[in-house]
Amino acid sequence: MTGTSRQTRAQCRARARAGWLAAAALAGCSGEPAPEAVGPPGAWWVGRTPAVAAVLGQLGQLEGTPLARAALQLAAVLPDCPTVGARADAADFGPLLFETRCVDPGDALAAALGRTDAEIVFALPAERGARAHGALRFDPGALVVDLSWPRADADGALALLLPGDEPAGPDRLASRGRLVHVRVRPRGGLDLGALVPADSQADRLFRLRSDLFASAVLDGTWEGAVYLPERADGMPGVALALGFRVKSAAVAAAERFLADLGETWDVHRAALRLGPAEGACLPALNVLPDFAPCYVATDGALVVGWNPASLERALAEDGGDVPGAGARLDVDLALIHRADALIARRLDTALVPLRWPWRRLRAAGEREGDTTVWRLELMLPHEARS
């Protein structure tokens, strides 16, 4: 191997550790071919057996779920050999899971694994003849999955999660007590009204084709957060931030939206002020538990809350500046376990909250050419770190 090729290989691996394995593979880095360059057609996966067993063990901890049952069934019949995998003509998950076999060193699956530093690699058919590819590895304290989705496209609400070419920008919503947080600048922009059929029930009841949700008012970014209940009998706080182009136009659209809702639901506007941010609530709209929707206009976004308390929590602090990705997701699984217990107590149910094998999920997505690239990190509990 030449010095140049060694250097290129090291550069590609460095990019992988920074979260760009899939992008580096698609760029054709010398010495680190993409799994699809050597893998067989159709759907397939291949991995080093100890890593596969470790992943199955984590999934098996999701007690009572179909995923846990499938993981435990597969673990029980996992072949005793260094490398295992499976193939199917299409993304048929039955054969991909339960026809797992030993993979010989000369097999195309073994070649796909051997050309990466990952523990598990896989491919699944996508739309228009493309294939989605992934690579899984163990970093200190985390299970990391890199995904590449060529020519990614989606309709409806799913399109709101596909990152575009520009970064999503800094967080607008407070981080303290967040169970779930997502911020995206979708590739197709943000036109929520276009997702709702004209004269549909959602449009008639909630005026979701209002000017407020049109791309002419919004700047194309959206952010959502769910917060831990503040008391044992409380519900989670929920807030949504919609970036706008011009504040005055956004406020005018929001006020028209409230007026339209008032005609439908016979409720009345109540003014709201949270620090320098002004807006309004519909305090009598009691169609769901603790539901009294409010909005305020900050310098950069219209922030909508499930009720005034949700807004207060969402605006209690700056969200912070997280540069880079066009889409990002953060799920605090440890806090969700606590929230499930609180909600179960309020609902007076005997359901046992799901105990997650990870403490947090973080994901970041970007668009590279015609490919969407994602990195997912499933962080292990501190006591489980090796």
pLDDT 10s digits, 252-270: 888 888 887 777 777 888 9
* In the chain, domain spans: 3-151+370-384, 156-357
> Looking at the predicted structure, is the pLDDT value of residue 70 above 60?
yes
pLDDT 10s digits, 47-66: 999 999 999 999 999 998 99
For strand 301-305 and strand 237-244, is the pairing parallel, antiparallel, or unpaired? antiparallel
> Looking at the predicted structure, is the pLDDT value of residue 21 above 50?
no
> Looking at the predicted structure, is the pLDDT value of residue 8 above 60?
no
> Looking at the predicted structure, is the pLDDT value of residue 369 above 70?
yes
3-state secondary structure 92-151: CHHHHHHCCEECCCCCHHHHHHHCCCCCEEEEEECHHHCEEEEEEEEECCEEEEEEEEEC
pLDDT 10s digits, 102-159: 999 999 999 999 989 999 999 988 766 678 899 999 999 999 999 998 876 666 667 7
385 versus 8: which is more confidently predicted? 385
Residues forming beta bridges with residue 142, ordered by sequence position:
139, 379
pLDDT for 213: 58
359 versus 160: which is more confidently predicted? 359
pLDDT for 150: 85
Of the candidates 273, 295, 294, 274, the one whose C-alpha atom is nearest the C-alpha of residue 285 is: 294
SS3 of residue 174 by DSSP: coil
Q: Is-contact 126 113, C-beta < 8 A?
A: no
CA–CA dist 82, 120 (Å, integer): 12
The CA R_g of the chain, rounded to the nearest whole Å, is 24
156 versus 197: which is more confidently predicted? 156
CA–CA dist 178, 348 (Å, integer): 24
Q: What is the mean pLDDT of the chain?
A: 80
Average pLDDT on 79-87 reads 96
